[in-house]
Amino acid sequence: MATQMTEMLKGTLEGIVLAILAERSAYGYEITASLRERGFVDIAEGTIYALLVRIEQKGFVSVERVPSEKGPPRKVYSLDGSGRERLADFWESWDFLAAHIDALRPARASTPGALDTNPHRTNGENA
Amino acid sequence: MATQMTEMLKGTLEGIVLAILAERSAYGYEITASLRERGFVDIAEGTIYALLVRIEQKGFVSVERVPSEKGPPRKVYSLDGSGRERLADFWESWDFLAAHIDALRPARASTPGALDTNPHRTNGENA
DNA sequence: TAGCGGTACCTAGTGCTACTTTGTACCCGT
DNA sequence: ACGGGTACAAAGTAGCACTAGGTACCGCTA
């Protein structure tokens, strides 16, 4: 993977999975598939299972074993109260980070549609 | 710190510092101060120095030692070519992540001003 | 002159996280 | 009988931010 993403996902991947579980309960394999559909194509399957173990141990989700027509029984994860709290914290942290990082972006392109179509400038008294 | 932030900063902090250095060269202590001014209040000083060592080893910056009136000589870091490339990669990865995470946000407030004031819908022939 | 606080740098150790790799187990179609 | 999709799991690796210190230089003040 692009190396950058690998490190960037640390700390955010948990929130991503929590957000998916907030929509509806799901099992590991399903979550992996859901991530791929949503554009997170390069996330390893093993990563998700490890993460699910962690959030279960932290008590963010409850687990129910459900028999499957194909393969071994599924472990269906459901977000519980503290999981929702954690998710709320995630969005708060994410919003903070996103806002502050966006402020670091080079000055151009802050107001869209006022930049690249500018072949002639009025060149008044500039610095 | 808020725990979430600690993990979220992994992978992004390098980009943040690179972005600051893109504006102008700076030394460690100065970068730390700059981060605080920009709202990153809780980032430990030691973290920055460790990060600077890493990006120097990776060749993203060049270093010049400059005597200071107060205290030990400063190590002034300047972004070089490969550092700028790395920064461009960072913005690319960040934009990708930000866009995909934003898509996970609960449905409300996606297009500002076009949602919650919608008590009646036209309900034509939808899919 | 002894001490304090600001400037400026550096490092060892810890904990957390995503990735890689490999393995198990079940089922279906050919 | 075999491969491939479904489904879960674990061991080992590498990278990163944090904690908690320490070194060194300087000016001010009690």
The pLDDT, as a whole number, for residue A111 is 54
Answer whether B2 touches A (CB < 8 Å): yes
Query: pLDDT tens, B50-90?
Result: 999 999 999 999 999 999 888 889 999 999 999 999 999 99
Predicted local confidence at residue A42, as pLDDT = 92
Is the pLDDT at B112 greater than 60? The verdict is no
The partner residues of A77 in beta bridges, in order of sequence, read A26, A63
> Would you call B20 an interface residue with chain A, using a CB distance cutoff of 8 Å?
yes
* Residues in CB range of B103: below 8 A, 6 or more apart: A38, A39
Quick one: pLDDT at residue A122? 36
Nucleic acid strand D within 7 Å of B1 CB: yes
Of A11, A38, A104, nearest to B8 by CB-CB distance is A11
Strands (E), A1-127: 26-27, 61-66, 74-79
Q: What percent of chain B has pLDDT over 90?
A: 75
Position A1 scores a pLDDT of 62
Residues A25/A5, Cβ–Cβ less than 8 Å:
no
Q: Is B10 exposed, middle or buried (0-12, 13-18, 19+ CB in 10 A)?
A: middle
- Mean pLDDT to the nearest integer, B30-43: 95
CA of B71 to C1' of C27 (A): 71
Closest approach of chain B CAs to the CA of A55, in angstroms?
Answer: 14
The pLDDT of residue B31:
97
Please list the rounded mean pLDDT of every run of 10 residues in chain A (127 residues).
87 97 96 95 95 96 90 93 96 97 80 40 34
Would you call A7 and B6 a contact, using CB atoms and an 8 Å cutoff? Answer: no
- Does pLDDT of B10 surpass 70? yes
User: B62: helix, coil or strand?
Assistant: strand
Residue B72 distance to chain A (closest CA, Å)? 29
